[in-house]
Amino acid sequence: MADQQQLAERLGVTIDPETLRLALTHRSYAYENGGIPTNERLEFLGDSVLGFSVTGHLYEHYPHLPEGELAKRRAAVVSTRALARLAREIGVGEFILLGQGEIRTNGRDKSSILADTMEALFGATFLSSGLEPARELVLRLVLPLLVEVDDFGAGTDWKTSIQEAAAEHSLGAVQYEVTGEGPDHARVYHAVLHIGEATYASGTGHSKKEAEQEAAEASWKILRRDLDAKAAAKGA
């Protein structure tokens, strides 16, 4: 197991070693080691730190947006998918304490485990260093995602954004072609998005929903560029 303090260094924060270990203790590991405490209480705390930090930033920096649009932007960057993406970029998975069952089923790359651990790390930072360092950590990680949301849409999920755009521009039916491979305990799904007669991007995940979301996110960027180009051509 990698030295957990290396993770704190990657995050650029100070976390008490005992609190850091707790933040990285998944329930599967706790169960196999005599029912020791898990990271779930820290996850609960970190969820509040995350929500407070993002909400405050959105309120301050988007004064022109109504409540509904602010809520959509917040949902887009505090979702399981967004948090798991951050965790993968940082390399959180290698530090998580997992039970043998989760290790065998590639738990270090499961979006739900990664997202929950990110929230626990936010909570651990709050306990060890206080609110401001925890808020700064959240915003340092999340602000690039907010820039993407501004560029590519702020739906509560990418599938919703795709569905709404297809309906608004009469592009045809939205369909996901999903296939799976591998044994049941480590199955990987691949999804390809079709809108009307057009084929867009593909996505991969450990569940059908995750694969479809990844395909929708990649397709949304392509779709937006296509629609913008058509609008520009009409206005020329």
The Cα–Cα gap between 176 and 189 comes to 12
Model confidence pLDDT, tens digit, residues 29-56: 999 999 899 999 999 999 999 999 999 9
Average pLDDT over every residue of 125-154 = 87
pLDDT in tens, 60-92: 999 998 888 888 888 888 888 889 889 999 999
pTM of the prediction? 0.71
116 is in an annotated binding site: yes
Report the distance separating Cα 45 and Cα 212, nearest Å.
30
DSSP for the chain reads ---HHHHHHHHT----HHHHHHHTB-HHHHHHTTS---SHHHHHHHHHHHHHHHHHHHHHH-TTS-HHHHHHHHHHHSSHHHHHHHHHHHTGGGG-B--HHHHHTTGGG-HHHHHHHHHHHHHHHHHHH-HHHHHHHHHHHHHHHHHHHHHH---SSHHHHHHHHHHHTT---EEEEEEEES-GGG-EEEEEEEETTEEEEEEEESSHHHHHHHHHHHHHHHHHHHHHHHHHHHH-
- Per the CB < 8 A criterion, the answer to whether 184 and 161 are in contact is no
User: Does 231 have pLDDT greater than 80?
Assistant: no
Q: Is the pLDDT of residue 236 over 70?
A: no
What are the tens digits of pLDDT across the range 83-139? 988 999 999 999 999 999 889 888 898 888 999 999 999 999 999 999 999 999 999
Those residues with Cβ within 8 angstroms of residue 166's Cβ, 6 or more apart along the chain or in another chain: 172, 173, 174, 195, 196
Specify whether 164 is catalytic: no
| Summary mean pLDDT of the chain | 88
What's the token pair of residue 127?
């306990």
Cα torsion at 185, 3, 54, 28 (round to 10°)? 30
Determine the distance from the C-alpha atom of residue 29 to the mean position of all C-alpha atoms in its chain, rounded to a whole number: 23
pLDDT > 90: what percent of the chain? 54
> What's the mean pLDDT in 188-209?
91
pLDDT beyond 70 at 150: no
Residue 186 clears pLDDT 60, i.e. is over it: yes
**How many other CB atoms sit within 10 Å of the CB of residue 19?**
20
Domains, the chain, ordered by start = 1-150 (1.10.1520.10), 158-235 (3.30.160.20)
Q: Is residue 119 marked as binding?
A: yes
pLDDT over threshold 70, residue 165: yes
**Tokens at 6, concatenated:** 């290396």
Better-predicted residue by pLDDT, 45 or 223: 45
Catalytic annotation, pick one of 3, 16, 18, 47: 47
Q: CB within 8 A of 19, min separation 6: which ones?
A: 42, 124, 127, 128
The catalytic residue among 40, 109, 119, 214 is 119
* Position 10 pLDDT exceeds 90: yes
- Does 119 qualify as catalytic in the annotation? yes
Residues 6 or more apart whose Cβ sits within 8 Å of residue 28: 98, 99, 101, 102, 107
Confidence label for 235 from pLDDT (cuts 50, 70 and 90): low
Cα distances (Å, whole numbers) of residue 86 to 11, 50, 79, 89, 114: 11, 13, 11, 5, 9
Average pLDDT over residues 187-210: 90
Q: State the pLDDT at residue 111.
A: 84
